[in-house]
Amino acid sequence: MEADSGTPVEVGLVGAGPWAATMHGPVLAAGPQTRLAAVWARRGEAAARLAGRLGTHAAVSYEELLERCEAVAFAVPPDVQAALAPRAARAGKALLLEKPLALDLGGARALADAVAEHGVVTQLVLTKRYHPSTRAFLAAAAAFEAAGARTHYLHGAFLGGAMATGWRLTLGALYDLGPHLLDLADAALGPIEEVRAAGDSRRWIELTCRHRHGAVSQMSLSGAVGLASSRAGIELFGPAGTLALDFGAVDHGQCWPVLRAEFAAAVRSGVPHPLDVRRGLMLQELLDRIGRTDP
């Protein structure tokens, strides 16, 4: 499907659960850089309800969804994404991917290989990275001499509610919250070369990372603590003092327009976003290393 740079990108949405209904669907339908072409989910009635609410078409099959769009956004569990996204890549569709890419390293590698083979554009929904405060923090971190960092991401969503789902309850905070902290620490302090874990990812897990230039970061993760609201942030320490980012109460309304615009620009230009499937594979490799050492 060819279009000029001013034509909205036709995006098909896979998934009709809470995240699809509250984020992916409304954001992609709002435009103007994108148009929600169709919704498909394994639960057809849920797809029909969401499509009706967003004023779009409910595809009766994944194949029909692919026929109706030029890009596919995934709002499904990681194992489902890993199974379906390579098919979209083989069909030449750009991919808006969730983190983690898969539930295992093999699935993530297969997805990355399909993307590389077919040369499609990809972008990760690492939400915090699209907020202006995060970008300002990372720009400042590039000139900050850091000896170490402390980071945390803590909430109680796994204790009950829409986010207390199968894969999150099984793998815990490491796979759901871990990609955010690993990505930010890696971006702020340099590539993570060593990582050790202590604790239980389903309750509380601590990560210690050594970065390429010698800095050390400590990460605290839990989705099972009774907090009224999430607490999340990263603080760098060095000879000049500290540099901090608090993203626990970040206004995601400032993230979504940036994410949508940058995805559309990447699709139209054919140039992968910096937060592409290769970034996702790097994070998956770290998760796999941690998982193999997690007591």
Tokens coding 172: 């815990």
295 belongs to a structural domain:
no
Say yes or no: 87 and 174 in one domain: no
- Do 99 and 173 have their domain in common? no
Q: Please, where are the H alpha helices in 75-207?
A: 78-90, 105-118, 132-141, 166-171, 173-176, 178-189
pTM: 0.94
Q: Both 107 and 185 in a single domain? A: no
Structural domain includes residue 3 = no
Domain assignment present for 293: no
- 264 and 164 in a single domain? The answer is no
Closest CA to 72 of 3, 19, 11: 11
pLDDT value at residue 3? 45
Indicate the residue type of 177: L
Q: 1 in a domain, yes or no?
A: no
| CA dist., res. 5 & res. 202, Å (int) | 45
Query: Do the domain assignments include residue 261?
Result: yes
Same domain? For 141 and 216 the reply is: yes
Question: 204 and 261 in one domain?
Answer: no
Sign of the CA dihedral with 255 first, then 168, 87, and 272 last: positive
Walk along the chain (295 residues) and give the pLDDT tens digit of each residue.
344 567 999 999 999 999 999 999 999 999 999 999 999 999 999 999 999 999 999 999 999 999 999 999 999 999 999 999 999 999 999 999 999 999 999 999 999 999 999 999 999 999 999 999 999 999 999 999 999 999 999 999 989 887 788 888 889 899 999 999 999 999 999 999 999 999 999 999 999 999 999 999 999 999 999 998 899 999 999 999 999 999 987 888 999 999 999 999 999 999 999 999 999 999 999 999 998 765 4
Separation CA 169–CA 159 (nearest Å): 9
Looking at the 3D structure of the chain, how many domains does it have?
2
Whole-angstrom distance, CA of residue 247 vs CA of residue 231: 8
Same domain assignment for residues 57 and 79: yes
Q: How far apart are CA 265 and CA 5, in angstroms?
A: 8
**Confidence at residue 1, expressed as pLDDT on a 0 to 100 scale:** 38
Chain centroid to CA 254: how far?
A: 16
Residue whose token pair is 């194992």: 79
Q: How far apart are CA 229 and CA 231, in angstroms?
A: 7
**Is 210 found in the same domain as 66?**
no
CATH number at residue 179: 3.30.360.10
- Residue 49 belongs to domain with CATH number: 3.40.50.720
Q: Is residue 289 part of a domain?
A: no
Residue 22 DSSP one-character state: I
**Containing domain of residue 43, as a range?**
9-127+253-275
Q: Are 119 and 259 in a shared domain?
A: yes
Whether residues 200 and 144 share a domain: the answer is yes
Report if residue 187 sits inside a domain.
yes
What is the rounded distance in angstroms from the CA atom of residue 174 to the CA atom of residue 272?
27
If asked whether residues 122 and 136 sit together in one domain, one would say no
Give the contacts of 22 (CB within 8 A, at least 6 positions apart). none
- Residues 21 and 165 reside in one and the same domain: no
Q: Is residue 292 part of a domain?
A: no
Q: Whole-angstrom Cα distance, residue 284 to residue 113? A: 14
